[in-house]
Structure 1
């Protein structure tokens, strides 16, 4: 673009921005990110409860982890996003700001399980310096709400010196950026960890906890371990793959999207909404899609970016209203007449039948897609990156309406049958059934 034309456009943009009315609803959106201006966030204890303030206004976090489709997050009633690092921080901060959202900006620090040694003073100092650079780079962005130091560094750890390193970073952040809150994120919480944090990390403003099954008991659990401070649940959602029932060949049985949506609603009510004196809000996991055990376990979108029933449930939790167009719901899903809980076995050369029963929230039709994958063998811990199994081709014999006929894969072993039901609003219900291919009959 010619320099002169660029100048004209910039002047026009500035003139239009100056004419925008500065109401409480649009002040965040109209702040210029070219001249950065931090909006202070503080934590206060008043009238027997903890409360975040953003500027002069009370702020309750209605957030999600991940930065996909920020306009939909805002339209669904969300107000904040969480990142795990600063790799795309400028893009995320700018995108959040444009949509009236705030950001919990993650600061990656080393994990013992990945080989980081918290007894290595030089490595710890180098890490702190790298964090310092990130703080100075992003501290004045108007979308910034809170700094999150690390993510589950306590997972499978033995060296408790990590807490001293986190405190060193937290106290540094307080000096460099007095305008924003500081926290650290744990994998669940027990009394030992809570005591270490209270003793060794006094500079954080509140505790952030990742918890799935068990969230419903969190408020009482925190009191039982003598933690009475404020908290944010920074990952929550479906029952974790390590917590759920398994087949007789020892693979976890994933909830359907309908079961997940119900879990989100009940766990939020019991673990977050039920503790208004201490719970400052939450970040649901995951506002996006990822392969972790399966391609559908944790993401609230499909790989194609289609929202599932969970997105509808989050809108209901954040706003008290269901969307006008809702995702379909699953009432039954069976393979050869059996649900996933029955540990379905099939034989080599066998023809199999699957059937799903669905509820539509309108009179429009559904499009159903089926997929067969080998069971993933690339299973990691703590959300580390996993590879997705490839879909198997040539097995589907026929599909009509809500029924599928397919032949057994040619090799014995563990597989999953996936079902995706999409309505005209591009919303999805999904589920899968694990099945095991035997050489000889098991049932």
Structure 2
């Protein structure tokens, strides 16, 4: 199993990959013109080393999923962006081109868990035709890098005929568009799934895998299950809500943003840079914000579009140096002296003390915002949309713009979370939350 490379040599590794990557032309160039025509991307293998070649030059993907603030994405050192569908594709492609980025364009196909039947030949044919139209519409855009057929169609599935449908689409795209790469995206990977894809989907160029906790072991895991080909990690980031420790009432314990930032750095080094002959790059998740278990779990921005310290870590990974102004960081958040892993219980009518240990790299007196939310009950799977819980009002005693507060216990028994956001004058944020239970 590859050993975890030390963060201290990360800059050197970054420079190795950066020098292999030819950036897109910038302002005033022909490449900025969205009518310039397709830029050819292909997969090569020389002496056992897989490599994307774009316009004849080696290309290593330094990307993120999500189409917001592409200017900051490019400034942070990224060169590519991933989508999950062709919604707003023209705008995304044009914006990517203006910012010197490529696009892995997602092609949404049906999920068994949403009711799509992969034994229904008419539905499969209609889906293929819809994909054909999307490919024909966008295949000549100069920012296009690759097509991603579906996203986690294997999540909770039972009908493996889906892979025949994916192959039919992949084969069609290869015929319609010889200039771009074709892949499909899985929810993790195991031997059975890898063998099915190898046997039934030979027309993809490489495998794409979404993986969170466990990314650090992915290079060896792929070899252990018999897959030695090229791969891209198309979603990665914090430890997933299904992978973390839980309270005694079964609430998942979210990493503090500082812990997430460290996870991004270590997992990238081991799971992506740790397999230079096979890993073609990655797309970090999520270059944006969403409600999934909590409003803060996966997005690297807040709901107010402020970058968190994870963005600083991605900048470091992609550029090999920290940004000049770094976000605050959080060491610990407690309620009544207890951490989240100690399962905090409180009583109705009780006043509680929340304490924060933090570091502000830029301001001595950053801004604080506290919020109490009921534990989310609208929990979905595979990133499906969820409703954000509504905040509990009037519980924080006195001024909430401090690093230590007093709050009243909610009247309704049950599960809650206390959130805190630290914002500096650069509008960068560190955040944390701690679950608690009202008995």
TM-score (norm 2): 0.93
Task: Describe the shift of the 1:29–1:313 C-alpha distance in structure 2 as closer, same or farther (beyond 3 A).
Answer: farther
Alpha-carbon separation, structure 2, partners of 1:422 and 1:234: 30
Q: Which moved more, 1:131-140 or 1:360-369?
A: 360-369
**Is the Cα contact below 8 Å between 1:28 and 1:97 reproduced in 2?**
no
Deviation string 1:327-356 (CA, Å, 9 cap, x unpaired) is: 001111111111111110000000011011
Give 1:422's aligned residue.
423
Give 1:379's aligned residue.
379
Alpha-carbon separation, structure 1, partners of 2:365 and 2:166: 53
What pairs with 1:154-233 in structure 2 (closer than 5 Å)?
154-233=154-233
Deviation string 1:197-247 (CA, Å, 9 cap, x unpaired) is: 000000000000000000000000000001000000000000000011000
Alpha-carbon separation, structure 2, partners of 1:24 and 1:291: 33
Instruction: Compute the displacement of 1:317 (Å).
Output: 0.5
Task: Describe the shift of the 1:108–1:407 C-alpha distance in structure 2 as closer, same or farther (beyond 3 A).
Answer: same
Q: Which runs of 5+ in 2 are unaligned?
A: 1-22
Alpha-carbon separation, structure 1, partners of 2:27 and 2:202: 33
TM-score (norm 1): 0.92
Instruction: Compute the displacement of 1:179 (Å).
Output: 0.1
Task: Describe the shift of the 1:307–1:32 C-alpha distance in structure 2 as closer, same or farther (beyond 3 A).
Answer: closer
What pairs with 1:13-162 in structure 2 (closer than 5 Å)?
25-26=25-26, 30-31=30-31, 33=33, 35-162=35-162
Alpha-carbon separation, structure 2, partners of 1:253 and 1:361: 26
Residue 62 of structure 2: SS of its match in structure 1? strand
**Is the Cα contact below 8 Å between 1:128 and 1:169 reproduced in 2?**
yes
Task: Describe the shift of the 1:87–1:363 C-alpha distance in structure 2 as closer, same or farther (beyond 3 A).
Answer: closer
Residue 262 of structure 1: SS of its match in structure 2? helix
Alpha-carbon separation, structure 2, partners of 1:287 and 1:113: 26
What pairs with 1:210-289 in structure 2 (closer than 5 Å)?
210-289=210-289
Give 1:431's aligned residue.
432
Instruction: Compute the displacement of 1:36 (Å).
Output: 4.2
Deviation string 1:376-434 (CA, Å, 9 cap, x unpaired) is: 00000000000000111111102463111110011000000000000000000000000
**Is the Cα contact below 8 Å between 1:330 and 1:356 reproduced in 2?**
yes
Residue 198 of structure 2: SS of its match in structure 1? helix
Residue 306 of structure 2: SS of its match in structure 1? coil
What pairs with 1:334-349 in structure 2 (closer than 5 Å)?
334-349=334-349
Alpha-carbon separation, structure 1, partners of 2:369 and 2:247: 24
Give 1:367's aligned residue.
367
Alpha-carbon separation, structure 1, partners of 2:26 and 2:250: 52
Q: Which moved more, 1:126-135 or 1:396-405?
A: 396-405
Alpha-carbon separation, structure 2, partners of 1:293 and 1:243: 13
Residue 31 of structure 1: SS of its match in structure 2? helix
CA RMSD for the aligned pairs?
A: 1.3
Give 1:16's aligned residue.
none
**Is the Cα contact below 8 Å between 2:26 and 2:98 reproduced in 1?**
no
Aligned length: 416
Instruction: Compute the displacement of 1:305 (Å).
Output: 0.3
Instruction: Compute the displacement of 1:35 (Å).
Output: 2.4
Task: Describe the shift of the 1:361–1:123 C-alpha distance in structure 2 as closer, same or farther (beyond 3 A).
Answer: same
**Is the Cα contact below 8 Å between 1:29 and 1:100 reproduced in 2?**
no
Q: Which runs of 4+ in 1 moved over 4 A?
A: none
Alpha-carbon separation, structure 1, partners of 2:150 and 2:239: 23
Give 1:6's aligned residue.
none
Task: Describe the shift of the 1:28–1:248 C-alpha distance in structure 2 as closer, same or farther (beyond 3 A).
Answer: farther
Instruction: Compute the displacement of 1:251 (Å).
Output: 1.0
Alpha-carbon separation, structure 1, partners of 2:363 and 2:323: 16
Alpha-carbon separation, structure 2, partners of 1:254 and 1:400: 23
**Is the Cα contact below 8 Å between 1:365 and 1:424 reproduced in 2?**
no
Q: Which runs of 5+ in 1 are unaligned?
A: 1-22, 439-443
**Is the Cα contact below 8 Å between 1:375 and 1:415 reproduced in 2?**
yes
Indicate yes or no: 2:433 matched with 1:412. no
Give 1:4's aligned residue.
none
Instruction: Compute the displacement of 1:27 (Å).
Output: 7.8
Alpha-carbon separation, structure 2, partners of 1:224 and 1:239: 22
Task: Describe the shift of the 1:24–1:329 C-alpha distance in structure 2 as closer, same or farther (beyond 3 A).
Answer: closer
Instruction: Compute the displacement of 1:360 (Å).
Output: 1.5
Structure with max Cα Rg:
1
